[in-house]
Structure 1
């Protein structure tokens, strides 16, 4: 009886594995089709994660509009992308649009230029941002305003400016990339971010995860190491313990800073 049961179960297991593999294959095919020829706008494209996103989306066959403050760096990136491509995927020459997210007037002009590149936008990746580290007492309001203009109001303004064209076409995908500190508070990050974000995950790996998330149309993805990910759950499930640990960390950092 045991032998007969096992024999009957094996084909079922193999069948389930086959169906799962087929579904994964169809998902990959759909993802590639969705990204190929899609118009993708990337802000902060000249360095770090933005630069790596430009690479992976270009390799996937997307039509890129690369945005940043330095036009020369943007032009250099477009040349580098064209020279580095080794796949057989059909590619399109990337466009470069230089502007400062902290300048509302520049965003209006940049939006018109972005829409002129390919006539529409399928995916907007709000990646650009500036960093700062300091205590609340030592941080001036000018710094807070500068960080908020670049990291929040600028991306919101750009999104609102491009949104009508997406609504008109009934098609569009908006990606907001943020530090994990947007979900949990960390001592001495009074204006949200600091240079230690560079010590996190490799931007090449994160860019691939962003590509995968966009291709699969995921709603919310945490791309962090184990400890920050655990901290997010700890903040939700045991806030008292979380704040106690953060307070202890703050005391240690202050002691180290003053020593």
Structure 2
């Protein structure tokens, strides 16, 4: 693959217009890959492309393929096949697909409109499975491929006031864990990445139960890891062809272990977290 083992692979990254997607684009490009960036916001994609070219650590002509930008709205499932075809025709192959795009959520189950659950499930789960299915047969035919899925620690843990987000990430991990086994004999790899909190605008852009934008940076997000650090760890995991990686602190990893080994204690801790968090959530909703 690029860097020591990623070579000149073609990498398609969804959600490449900001945050972790932007950092991943920079990492893969500097590792020598041919990068295709996809997002709903073409203006931001062009900004990312310009910054990558301007700040590249590569010597001139080391990577002569500027990042390509394409518009993609994963909520528009009907147009995913035509997007996949357009992306494939650029280099007539996709070696690494990074399913990174997504939206977050803040709210209580009882007061959340079903349309919000559906939207998160489409964007965070079904959209990525649709895109993967569009490219999978071609990867099998070319004899190799690598599908990278950006999930979340919340794809392993259900925490209060994140029901729609956590559910979509649980579904994502279940699907791609299954896919990994089914394509193992075709030399197609699957890496599921579960990061903890990252300093991005994910919480600012999160949806609330009634569809409004949350508009705030949570303290956990503000104190999270940098996107560049997360992207660097992901690049190493892809190069090593890891099947699964959790990029998080001791607390999150302990919680995952506790959920598996002592679930009753984990549930008590989450009950307490819900009691503490509900007043804050209600106050923020009133302020909007």
TM-score, normalising length: structure 2: 0.76
Alpha-carbon distance, 1:255 to partner = 4.0
- Does 1:40 find its partner at 2:14? no
Alpha-carbon distance, 1:119 to partner = 0.8
Alpha-carbon distance, 1:86 to partner = 2.6
- Does 1:73 find its partner at 2:62? no
Normalized per residue, which structure has more strand?
Answer: 2
Equivalent residues, number: 230
Quickly say closer, same or farther: Cα 1:256–1:72, change in 2 above 3 A: closer
TM-score, normalising length: structure 1: 0.84
Alpha-carbon distance, 1:257 to partner = 4.5
Q: Distance in 2 between matches of 1:257 and 1:147?
A: 19
Alpha-carbon distance, 1:90 to partner = 1.8
- Does 1:164 find its partner at 2:131? no
Quickly say closer, same or farther: Cα 1:166–1:133, change in 2 above 3 A: same
SS at match of 1:97: strand
Q: Is there any run of 5+ residues in structure 1 with no aligned partner, and where? A: 1-29
Alpha-carbon distance, 1:109 to partner = 1.3
Alpha-carbon distance, 1:256 to partner = 4.3
SS at match of 2:105: coil
1:1-259 matches, within 5 Å, as 32-88=3-59, 90-91=62-63, 92-192=65-165, 195=203, 196=218, 198-199=221-222, 200-257=224-281
Q: Distance in 1 between matches of 2:282 and 2:52?
A: 46
Quickly say closer, same or farther: Cα 1:256–1:67, change in 2 above 3 A: closer
Question: 1:135-158, CA deviations, whole angstroms, 9 ceiling, x for partnerless residues?
Answer: 101111110111111000000000
Moved more, 194-203 or 233-242: 194-203
Q: Is there any run of 5+ residues in structure 2 with no aligned partner, and where? A: 167-201, 204-217, 284-288
Question: 1:49-104, CA deviations, whole angstroms, 9 ceiling, x for partnerless residues?
Answer: 00000001100000001000011211222122111113238212111110100111
Question: 1:202-227, CA deviations, whole angstroms, 9 ceiling, x for partnerless residues?
Answer: 11100000100000100000011221
Question: Is residue 66–residue 96 contact of structure 1 (8 Å, CA) maintained in 2?
Answer: yes
Normalized per residue, which structure has more helix?
Answer: 1
Question: 1:147-190, CA deviations, whole angstroms, 9 ceiling, x for partnerless residues?
Answer: 11100000000000010110001100001101210000101112
Q: Distance in 1 between matches of 2:91 and 2:106?
A: 39
Q: Distance in 2 between matches of 1:257 and 1:41?
A: 36
